[in-house]
Copies of this chain bind each other. A is one copy, B any other.
Amino acid sequence: GERECGEKSGEEWVAIESDSSNVLKRPDLHRMMETTAQKLRLMGGTVELVDIGEQELPNGQTLALPKVVTATFGTDPNKHTVCVYGHVDVQPAKLEDGWATDPYNLTDINGNLYGRGASDNKAPVLAWIHAVEAYQALSMELPVNVKFVIEGMEETGSNGLDAMILAQRDTFFSDVDYIIISDCGWLSRRPALTYGTRGNCYFFAEVEGPKQDLHSGVYGGTVIEPMTDLIGILDTLISPSGKILIPGIREAVAPLSDEEWKMYQDIQFDMDSYKNKIGVTQLMYSNKVDLLAHMWRYPTVSVHGIEGAFSDSGSKTVIPAKVTAKFSIRQVPNMDPAMVKKQVTDYLHSVFAKRKSPNKLKVTMVIGAKPWLADTQHPLYEAGKAAVKRVFDMDPDLIREGGTIPIARTFQDVTGKSIIMMPIGGFDDGLHSQNEKMSRFDATGFTLVSSHFTLQEVLEQETGYE
């Protein structure tokens, strides 16, 4: 049956360690793209693996980017053409990070399927593929032409995809009427449609001192330690109360409108269950509107970690010679990544200069992804609302997404077509975390929504709204 077939693909896909941020996993990532293409070929799609060139690494070396998979099911000029975007690369995951199960072995526990990429974004991609398979299994003609564009670099900033979309604007994308993205989650147990995402500027701040690590007993007190310098500059990014201290960042943010404030008031969101889910007693804001606003439409700074310092368990008395902090700033309208890059780089260099350290600071922006915002009154969203209502028997919440789907903005800018984000997956799926999962119920329900959405499109088309 379809369900078993889908799970077989799910197991196969999750088993491939397609971590796009780890250059050593690049062969796995190439294999993931080939596996995806082969799945679509076997379903009778017209499939291409599009070469998008090479990636330049910080050390100056180059590495082949994973090819982008495009597929076409149906070319009837009398039908609308929908294009589903997804990605099959994943965030890093290791069993020792605290997973209860092997992150690369899809494991069923009480109806939840655990594995890296289960929710972000392998299952959603498969759900759309299953919607097409469902029509095929029922020998029903697809009510629309369906295209897929599936990439393998989303988790590190969709390198090369912008150029590919631009290059194929007048070919693959020329007959596309709208674009569907299912790379986000619901806010509660209530299904949702997403109309905005934050962008992301991801920085490396490297401080380099001695030519190699030093014994902290022998050298401590005589050298100016890179780690002390790095901590000093990181501590100037954001205040304890969440205020970004980099000049210019807060000033660029679009003010919260009364309309937005009212809309946030009505969204189903339980602060206590949210706190309980993440296991904290207190959040940065104690009321719903402030919290949702800072989740979706204000920037923030997160420091992810430091490469090059001692990070294992136990004690090591080392002065690390070169340490690189990884931090990111979420982007919202009307911030501009190029401007943020300059603001952050200038600020850190000025803060560092005050330390009068002989060490060398290098600031690099490795991801610069813009935010995206849609019009919730667009017919696409009306069709989405109707499909959710039909399958789940309730109206979806209209929400935004704190995370980043960098390509939404590009699709909109390059193709001029509208985009809808149809999330799949519970609010507790644990994207990017330990024990990421996708529930069977959500996955099956979403396959139905996908099918009904395309039907809905046909119905609406007949009433001639476009």
Contacts and interface: CB of A to CB of B under 8 A. Distances in A.
B310 A315 contact: no
B303 A431 contact: no
A373 interface: no
B305 A22 contact: no
The copy count of this chain in the complex is 2
A204 B313 CA distance: 10
Interface stretch (A103-111, A130-138, A432-440): A432-440
Contacts of A366: 315
A254 interface: no
Interface in A284-319: 284-285, 291, 294-295, 298-319
A304 B326 contact: no
B218 A431 contact: yes
B302 A227 contact: yes
B326 A212 contact: no
A156 interface: yes
A370 B404 CA distance: 51
A401 interface: yes
Contact of A306 (B212, B224, B306): B306
Given A281-B358, A320-B305, A240 B235 contact: no
A354 B241 CA distance: 11
A17 B319 CA distance: 22
B229 A231 contact: no
Interface centre among A301, A317, A433 (most CB of B within 10 A): A317
Interface string A226-251: 01110110110010111000000000
A117 interface: no
A295 B215 CA distance: 12
A152 interface: no
A402 interface: yes
Nearest to A197: B217
A300 B22 contact: no
A214 B278 contact: yes
15 contacts: A21-B315, A91-B316, A92-B312, A210-B278, A213-B434, A214-B278, A220-B328, A221-B242, A222-B402, A223-B278, A224-B240, A225-B302, A305-B306, A308-B311, A315-B326
Given A221-B299, A315-B366, 20 more contacts: A21-B314, A21-B316, A22-B313, A210-B279, A211-B278, A213-B434, A219-B402, A220-B300, A220-B302, A221-B402, A222-B295, A223-B278, A227-B304, A228-B238, A228-B301, A235-B235, A240-B357, A306-B306, A307-B313, A309-B311
Please list the 4 inter-chain residue pairs (A to B) with the smallest Cβ-Cβ separation, ordered nearest first.
A217-B403, A211-B279, A305-B310, A305-B309
